[in-house]
Amino acid sequence: MKIIEVKTLAIPDIKVIRFGRFNDRRGYFTETFRNSDFQKLDFMKGVKFLQCNEGYSKAGTFRGFHFQWNPYMGKLVRVISGHLIDLALDIRKGSPAFGSVPSNV
């Protein structure tokens, strides 16, 4: 897996990870998850992904408003085509960013 960039957002636990693509005349190939490469990232050490989902939404669709509580669950979100607006509201009591929705994607 080729990780091109890791960007930390205003809530430091939220990251944007850009992956490389390998293009040729047939199209492209990209590896979106390899545990050994993720474990090289400090913030991913010890994180274990248990589930991977994919969905398709038509333009203008809003998908669920979710939160996890006791235990927390991290999410790996990937956009294959088009655009994604992913909002994160910090609801962690005592967090310096509590109640904020950072906009520096």
Domain ranges in the chain? Answer: 3-44
pTM of the model: 0.68
pLDDT tier for residue 26 given thresholds of 50, 70 and 90: very high
Coil, strand or helix at 95: coil
Distances 87 to 14, 28, 83, 101 between C-alpha atoms, Å: 11, 29, 13, 7
Q: Is the pLDDT of residue 24 over 90?
A: yes
Coil, strand or helix at 38: helix
Give the integer Cα–Cα distance in Å for 93 and 57: 32
- Here the tokens at position 63 are 């998908």
Average pLDDT over residues 29-37: 86
Give the integer Cα–Cα distance in Å for 105 and 84: 11
